[in-house]
């Protein structure tokens, strides 16, 4: 608030053509917390802006066109390219899809996309042999109409049902992408800046993306996003004529908010706090799952968790109706949650408490959820 007030009384808007102090400070502060060799950034307005700019960058650098996204992923809805890569929303809702966009099967051990049993599923075992990934790349290559450019994914597929990639999957994906000359883009809109208990979601994987996007709480409520990459990729993109901008992309007021947001995350220890909240939530959810067979699985990192509701733990049939009832009942009891998933499933209760939540608030929210799930019926089974 102090940063915003200061700029309201000095300078709130400035064309990107000119540098301003707040913009330079944000470049420096963001660069200090990026995972090396990521160090260069450009600022835009929304998450969709950043995704579109990241894909344009990858295409400029590689000379390719084809972009692959996970079939349960979501990357925005304001541009033709982001809508076309938001497979979890079912892109048929938007009519025509952008050329050079196609999907890979998402790693979903609880519902193996290639129908392996839990005992057979390589994702569930985390043994590095991911049949869904290898099959997807073989199919993708047969469908490429031109040279490939990039693969894009979220470190945790949030809107798709809070899907956490199994150990080693992201590294295997990156290696396959690099073999084909493709860059790895990570969309950190919903996982970056401490939310998973690390500063960046990709740090759980020991994999550094070639290009990364940041948005959402980056501006602490004000609209600003960033595309981050290495000096080598940035220089090559610029040399090839790359450009990305918006009228308000580098406004001092939004850049000042970004600086303040990073400062608060570091000064208040919110990385460690998000990790501690995650541990506390996991214990609550484990007790709920033990007492309630409506819960098929719970999964997450930091403050981002999903509780998957099923009609039957053996069949794993999605309990969409129960999820709807649970969301409504939670709201009526003072807890805001959402039902998420992809395709014909909306059976995952997504929980994303603020990183500044107290232990008492977390316990209260978990108590409300536990009570609601104990009362919710399975309307599909009636």
Q: Are 68 and 140 in contact (CB under 8 A)?
A: yes
> What does R_g of the chain's alpha carbons equal in angstroms?
21
The tokens describing 87, both together, are 């497979």
The residue segments making up the domain with residue 320 are 270-376
262 and 274: one domain?
Answer: no
Is 117's pLDDT higher than 70? no
Last residue of a domain, one of 267, 292, 310: 267
Does any domain span residue 382? no
CA trace torsion 252, 82, 154, 69 (10° rounding): -150
Place 64 in a pLDDT band, splitting at 50, 70 and 90: very high
71 and 38: one domain?
Answer: yes
Does any domain span residue 340? yes
Last residue of a domain, one of 237, 267, 297: 267
141 and 50: one domain?
Answer: yes
How far is the C-alpha of 142 from the C-alpha of 148, rounded, in Å? 12
263 and 283: one domain?
Answer: no
Mean per-residue pLDDT of the chain: 92
Does any domain span residue 381? no
Q: Considering the chain, what percentage of its residues have pLDDT values greater than 70?
A: 95
* pLDDT score for 25: 97
171 and 48: one domain?
Answer: yes
Residue 305 pairs in a beta bridge with 300, 351
**Residue among 85, 74, 107 at smallest CA distance from 299:** 107
Return the minimum-mean-pLDDT range out of 34-38, 99-103, 235-239, 261-265: 99-103
Does any domain span residue 258? yes
192 and 235: one domain?
Answer: yes
146 and 290: one domain?
Answer: no
pLDDT in tens, 137-162: 999 999 898 999 999 999 999 999 99
Last residue of a domain, one of 267, 301, 335: 267
Is 382's pLDDT higher than 50? no
E-only strand ranges, 290-363: 295-301, 304-309, 338-340, 348-351
Q: Considering the chain, what percentage of its residues have pLDDT values greater than 90?
A: 78
How far is the C-alpha of 194 from the C-alpha of 302, rounded, in Å? 8
* pLDDT score for 89: 77
Q: Which helix (H) or strand (E) holds 276?
A: helix 270-291
What is the maximal distance between C-alpha atoms in the chain?
Answer: 64
* SS3 call for 182: coil
What average pLDDT does range 257-273 have in this prediction?
97
Task: Report how far apart, in Å, the C-alpha atoms of 249 and of each of 21, 71, 225 are.
Answer: 14, 30, 8
241 and 276: one domain?
Answer: no
* pLDDT score for 41: 97
182 and 56: one domain?
Answer: yes
How far is the C-alpha of 98 from the C-alpha of 82, rounded, in Å? 9
Rounded to two decimals, the pTM is: 0.94
Q: What secondary structure does DSSP assign to 42-109, as a single string?
A: EEESSHHHHHHHHHHHHHHHH---EEEEETT----SSSHHHHHT-GGG-GGGGSS--TTEEEE----G
For residue 364, what is the domain's CATH number? Answer: 3.90.1150.10
* pLDDT score for 91: 73
Count of the separate structural domains present in the chain: 2
The tokens describing 356, both together, are 């500044």
Distance of CA 178 to the CA centre of its chain: 21
Is 118's pLDDT higher than 60? no
The tokens describing 377, both together, are 């019926």
Angle at 162 between CA 70 and CA 208, to 5 degrees: 60
What average pLDDT does range 58-68 have in this prediction?
97
pLDDT in tens, 191-221: 999 999 999 999 999 899 999 999 999 999 8
pLDDT in tens, 310-356: 999 999 999 999 999 999 999 999 999 999 998 889 999 999 999 99
Helices (H), 66-151: 80-84, 122-125, 131-143
pLDDT in tens, 67-110: 999 999 999 888 788 888 988 877 777 677 888 999 999 999 89
235 and 276: one domain?
Answer: no
For residue 224, what is the domain's CATH number? Answer: 3.40.640.10
Is 357's pLDDT higher than 60? yes
Q: Are 187 and 213 in contact (CB under 8 A)?
A: yes
Does any domain span residue 319? yes
DSSP 14: -
249 and 274: one domain?
Answer: no
- The residue to which tokens 């610029």 are assigned: 238
Cβ count near 67 (within 10 Å): 25
How far is the C-alpha of 282 from the C-alpha of 299, rounded, in Å? 8
DSSP 246: -
312 and 223: one domain?
Answer: no
Q: Are 22 and 7 in contact (CB under 8 A)?
A: yes
What average pLDDT does range 295-305 have in this prediction?
98
């Amino acid at each position: 608030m102090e940063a915003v007030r200061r700029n309201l009384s000095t300078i709130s808007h400035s064309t990107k053509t000119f540098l301003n102090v707040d913009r330079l400070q944000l470049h420096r502060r963001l660069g200090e917390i990026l995972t090396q060799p990521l160090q260069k950034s450009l600022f835009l307005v929304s998450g969709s802006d950043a995704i579109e700019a990241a894909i344009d960058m990858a295409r400029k650098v590689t000379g390719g066109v084809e972009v692959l996204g996970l079939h349960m992923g979501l990357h925005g809805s304001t541009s033709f390219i982001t809508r076309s890569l938001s497979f979890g929303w079912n892109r048929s809702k938007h009519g025509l899809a952008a050329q050079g966009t196609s999907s890979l099967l998402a790693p979903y051990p609880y519902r193996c996309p290639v129908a392996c049993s839990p005992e057979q599923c390589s994702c569930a075992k985390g043994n590095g042999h991911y049949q869904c990934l290898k099959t997807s790349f073989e199919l993708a290559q047969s469908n490429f109409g031109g040279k490939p450019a990039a693969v894009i994914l979220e470190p945790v597929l949030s809107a798709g049902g809070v899907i956490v990639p199994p150990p080693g999957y992201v590294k295997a994906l990156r290696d396959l992408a690099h073999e084909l000359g493709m860059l790895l883009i990570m969309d950190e809109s919903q996982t970056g800046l401490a939310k998973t208990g690390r500063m960046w979601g990709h740090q759980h994987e020991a994999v550094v993306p070639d290009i990364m996007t940041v948005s959402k709480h980056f501006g602490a409520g004000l609209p600003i996003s960033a595309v981050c990459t290495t000096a080598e990729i940035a220089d090559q993109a610029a040399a090839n004529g790359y450009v990305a901008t918006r009228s308000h992309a580098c406004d001092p007021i939004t850049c000042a908010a970004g600086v303040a947001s990073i400062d608060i995350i570091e000064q208040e220890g919110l990385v460690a706090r998000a990790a501690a909240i995650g541990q506390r939530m996991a214990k609550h959810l484990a007790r709920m799952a033990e007492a309630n067979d409506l819960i098929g699985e719970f999964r997450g990192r930091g403050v981002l968790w999903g509780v998957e509701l099923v009609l039957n733990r053996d069949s794993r049939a999605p309990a969409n109706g129960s999820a709807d009832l649970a969301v409504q009942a939670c709201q009526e009891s003072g807890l805001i949650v959402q039902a998420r998933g992809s395709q014909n499933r909306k059976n995952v209760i997504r929980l994303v408490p603020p990183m500044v939540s107290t232990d008492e608030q977390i316990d209260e929210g978990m108590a409300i959820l536990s009570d609601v799930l104990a009362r919710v019926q399975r309307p599909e089974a009636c």
